[in-house]
Amino acid sequence: MASRRTFLQSSAAGLAGLAAAPLAAAALPPVPAAGKPVVISTWDAGVNANKGAWKILGAGGYALDAVEAGVMVTEAEQGCCVGLGGNPDRDGIVTLDACIMDEKFNCGGVAALERIKHPVSVARRVMERTPHVLLVGEGAQQFAVAQGFPLEPQRLSVDAEKAYKEWLKTSLYKPVVNIENTGNRPTGPVGGPQNHDTIAMLALDAQGRLSGSCTTSGMGFKMRGRVGDSPLIGSGLFVDPAVGAAAATGQGEDVVRMAGAHTVVELMRQGRSPQAACREAVERIAAIKGAKAKDIQVAFIAINTQGQTGSFALQKGFNFTVSTSATPVLRDSEFLLK
């Protein structure tokens, strides 16, 4: 918490000019050779997730299978912000949001899903086996069970229970910027296995097919029934096979209000690189939020049809993982507020 206070002080000072650092060439992510696959995902949970995705991509497999399998790794890791180990809502219940999209505008999502370990796989079933794109709450759970997903016990992980009890002392809803990487879990180190985040993943496979996925437990201690950007096609994730794909993490409300991922893809359609498109979308959020921008984090990742990737964040502290081989590369993102 001390570092967050220091950070907020320094970012408040930097907000006035909304100055951004020039893009350091060394920070640019690797680009795959023509016809080679690439996968990019949010935060350092992406290191393990990308390895899961690479088992499929590296063997010439389908991007859609890769983005599902990749984020399932994070869902199973039981960190703070993805899967059933996530922080609960203010009633003490973990509710999960996820979506998935392929290279043909097929898409599916689930929101406010309870007691299901792999919401991204339920999202894929919504896409493949229903006439709909989004199922929520009880209906999503009924569908998952009918599809053979086991109903897990209704209980908090040890860390989530501790975090919830701590939260109950004040019951104030104050999302912590970069909570995904701030060592917020009592039993886990910063960036360690207990600190997982919303994970969004974008992949281009060897056949040039693009897909994306996104999965989260959402903002901890949210109102019961709150849904963020992550399961919403066009906000948390968007894929356009002619242009590229984008995904978001951070304060979902502020991604939804400007249709974040879709905006990034449209900016790429107008000729921006993935990095420049992510940056412009973040600048738009900063302009909308004004002085309140310093209180939130939002970050985008993007990929284009040539396999170039990029990211940009509002605040310091966001990182992302790119793989053009079996060895993932973790990068600190460029950011706006200095």
CB of 299 to ligand SD4, least distance (A): 8
Residue 77 binds ligand SD4 (CB under 6 A): no
Residue 240 binds ligand SD4 (CB under 6 A): no
Residue 49 binds ligand SD4 (CB under 6 A): no
CB nearest ligand SD4: which residue?
252
- Binds ligand SD4 (CB under 6 A): choice among 250, 310, 317, 328: 250
Stretch touching ligand SD4 by CB under 6 A, among 102-110, 225-233, 271-279, 288-296: 225-233
- Binds ligand SD4 (CB under 6 A): choice among 218, 260, 310, 328: 218
CB of 232 to ligand SD4, least distance (A): 10
Residue 278 binds ligand SD4 (CB under 6 A): no
Residue (3 or 325) nearer to ligand SD4, CB: 3
Burial class (CB in 10 A: 0-12, 13-18, 19+), 183: middle
Residue 231 binds ligand SD4 (CB under 6 A): no
Residue (194 or 249) nearer to ligand SD4, CB: 249
CA distance from start to end of the chain: 19
**C-alpha angle 88/90/93, rounded to 5°?**
40
List the catalytic residue out of 74, 95, 198, 263: 198
Stretch touching ligand SD4 by CB under 6 A, among 106-114, 135-143, 214-222, 263-271: 214-222
CB of 60 to ligand SD4, least distance (A): 31
Residue (196 or 209) nearer to ligand SD4, CB: 196
Interface characters, 157-196, with ligand SD4 (x: CB under 6 A): -----------------------x----------------
Q: CA-CA distance, 116 to 215, in Å (whole number)?
A: 12
Residue (222 or 294) nearer to ligand SD4, CB: 222
Residue 260 binds ligand SD4 (CB under 6 A): no
Burial 99-114 (b: 16+ CB within 10 A, else e): bbbbbeeebbbbbbbb
Q: Decide: 201 and 323 in contact? Cβ < 8 Å.
A: no
- Binds ligand SD4 (CB under 6 A): choice among 68, 89, 229, 240: 229
Residue 6 annotated as catalytic:
no
Q: CA-CA distance, 134 to 132, in Å (whole number)?
A: 6
Residue 64 binds ligand SD4 (CB under 6 A): no
Residue 252 binds ligand SD4 (CB under 6 A): yes
CB of 253 to ligand SD4, least distance (A): 7
Helix axes 63-77, 119-129, angle to 10 degrees: 150
Number of residues engaging ligand SD4 in binding (CB under 6 A): 14
Contacts to ligand SD4 by CB under 6 A: 81, 180, 197-198, 216, 218-219, 228-230, 249-252
Residues involved in catalysis: 198
